[in-house]
């Protein structure tokens, strides 16, 4: 996992930037900035963090910097939540196995009792 995807996603401005990029594919920094009330420098700093987390790609086009979302990095986020689910269900499977074993044991005990009656 690219070191701090989660820190990068912690900021609502950066999440909104990613959502914009998911909707529009490619956007120059200036257009991203238009959607917010803060300075272009502030947005540039957010974009730098998104770049460093490998959540976006940049391409130079004349004076512009064109940003795109990096879907691979987004996949990593999904993988983390999936791995959480797997840990969770692996535990549930183990619990289920124990419960089934318990049920068999009870069923056997029941049978033995019936046989002795």
Partner DNA sequence: TGTTTTATAAAGTAAATACTTAATTAAAAA
Partner DNA sequence: TTTTTAATTAAGTATTTACTTTATAAAACA
Using CB under 8 A, list all residues that contact its own copies: 4, 6-7, 9-10, 15, 18-19, 22-25, 69, 71, 74, 77-78, 81-82, 84-85, 87-88, 90-91
For residues 44 and 69, the answer to whether their CB atoms sit within 8 Å is no
| CA-based nearest residue to 13, from 24, 1, 41 | 41
3-class secondary structure, 11: coil
In terms of CB distance, is 22 or 107 closer to its own copies? 22
Strand ranges across the sheet with 56-61: 26-28, 64-69, 56-61
Rounded CA gap, 56 and 88, in Å? 31
Q: Name which position in 40, 92, 100, 110 contacts DNA (CB under 7 A).
A: 40
Q: How many residues does the chain have?
A: 117
Out of its own copies, DNA, none, which partner does residue 49 contact, by CB within 5 to 8 A per kind? DNA
Min separation Cβ 39 and its own copies, Å: 23
Which part of the chain contacts DNA (CB under 7 A), choosing from 22-30, 79-87, 97-105, 108-116? Answer: 22-30
Burial class (CB in 10 A: 0-12, 13-18, 19+), 106: exposed
Out of its own copies, DNA, none, which partner does residue 68 contact, by CB within 5 to 8 A per kind? none
Q: Which residues are at the interface with DNA (CB under 7 A)?
A: 7, 10-11, 13, 28-31, 33, 37-49, 58, 60, 62-65
């Amino acid at each position: 996992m690219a070191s701090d995807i989660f820190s990068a996603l912690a900021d609502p401005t950066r999440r909104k930037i990613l959502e914009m990029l998911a909707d529009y594919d490619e956007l120059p920094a200036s257009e991203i900035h238009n959607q917010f009330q803060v300075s272009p420098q502030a947005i540039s700093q957010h974009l730098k963090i998104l770049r460093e987390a490998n959540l976006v790609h940049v391409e130079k086009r004349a004076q512009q910097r064109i940003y795109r979302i990096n879907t691979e990095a987004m996949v990593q986020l999904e993988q983390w939540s999936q791995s959480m689910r797997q840990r969770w269900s692996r535990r549930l499977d183990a619990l289920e196995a124990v419960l089934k074993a318990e049920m068999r044991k009870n069923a056997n005990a029941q049978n033995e009792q019936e046989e002795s009656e």
